[in-house]
Amino acid sequence: MSVLNGKKILLGVSGGIAAYKTASLVRLFIKAGAHVQVIMTPASKDFVTPLTLATLSKNPVYSSFYNDDEQEAEWNNHVELGLWADIMLIAPATANTMSKMTNGNCDNLLIATYLSAKCPVYVAPAMDLDMYKHPSTLASFEALQQFGNTIIPAESGELASGLSGEGRMAEPENIIAFLEADLESKLPLKGKKILITAGPTYEAIDPVRFIGNHSSGKMGFDIAECAANLGAYVILVSGPTHCKTTHSNIQRIAVTSAQEMYDVCHEHYSTADVAIAAAAVADYKPKQVASQKIKKAASNFVIELEKTKDILLSLGEIKKNQFLIGFALETENEIENAKLKIQKKNLDLIVLNSLQDEGAGFQKATNKVTFIDKNFNIEPMELKSKEAVAEDILNKIKAYFHE
Residues marked as catalytic: 213
Among the listed residues 172, 135, 154, the one whose alpha carbon sits nearest the alpha carbon of residue 31: 172
Question: Does an H or E element contain 97, and which?
Answer: helix 95-103
Angle subtended at Cα 176 by Cα 171 and Cα 179, rounded to the nearest 5 degrees: 125
Asked if 111 contacts 139 with a C-beta cutoff of 8 angstroms, the reply is no
Phi/psi at 221 (5° precision): -70, -40
According to DSSP, the β-strands at 121-125 and 150-151 are parallel
The per-residue DSSP string of 327-379 comes to EEEESSSHHHHHHHHHHHHT-SEEEEEETTSTT-STT-SEE-EEEEETT--EE
Measured in whole angstroms, the distance separating CA 229 from the mean position of its chain's CA atoms is 2
Q: Give the relative orientation of helices 95-103 and 109-116 as an angle to the nearest 10 degrees.
A: 50
Closest of 50, 126, 42, 38 to residue 85, by C-alpha: 38
Question: How many Å apart are CA 390 and CA 356, to the nearest integer?
Answer: 21
Helix (H) or strand (E) holding 40: strand 35-40
Q: CB count, 10 Å around CB of 288?
A: 10
What is the distance, to the nearest Å, from the Cα of residue 215 to the centroid of all Cα atoms in its chain?
A: 24
Amino acid letter at 222?
D
Beta carbons of 197 and 281 less than 8 angstroms apart: yes
